[in-house]
Amino acid sequence: MTTATPRDAAARDADALLLLEAAFPGDRLSPRAIRRLLCSPSARVRVIADDAGAVRGALVLLFRRGARAARIYSLAVDPAARGRGLAKVLIVDAERTAAARGCDRVRLEVRVDNLPALALYARQGYARVQRLTGYYEDGADGYRLEKRIASP
């Protein structure tokens, strides 16, 4: 069973974050990038762990000074934990975090061939705002998605 309460990631979660990133076909975060994100004031790395403490899902949210939009940079869920709503919990948590930082939009990019992710984001109210030709390292196209959120 997984506790669906996100928490801030810590340095001790770096290896688990790398394992989650391994599920992506490419464009993965490197160990160096993960270490940098964990201590960056412009990033929030949130994780969901199971009752034994194993990280089952993670989301990286980025902020830019003066920007009203936050960016979901990475969202990954352990394949063994999929179908339990963890991605939705992380997305809602990211939106709340963004709103608390004064943002009124959340953006992200997703591969055009990642149909499960596109369906998930559509269910959460994200709309396609741009097609990104050759966006991914393997040349695959992506979509930029965006959702307006209520800032506090």
Domain boundaries, given as residue ranges, for the chain: 7-148
Per-residue pLDDT reduced to its tens digit, 120-130: 999 999 999 99
The pLDDT of residue 2 is 47
Secondary structure (3-state) at 68: coil
Residues with pLDDT less than 50, the chain: 1-2
Tell me whether strands 43-49 and 55-62 are parallel, antiparallel or unpaired.
antiparallel
CATH architecture of 7-148: 3-Layer(aba) Sandwich (3.40)
User: What is the pTM for the complete model shown?
Assistant: 0.91
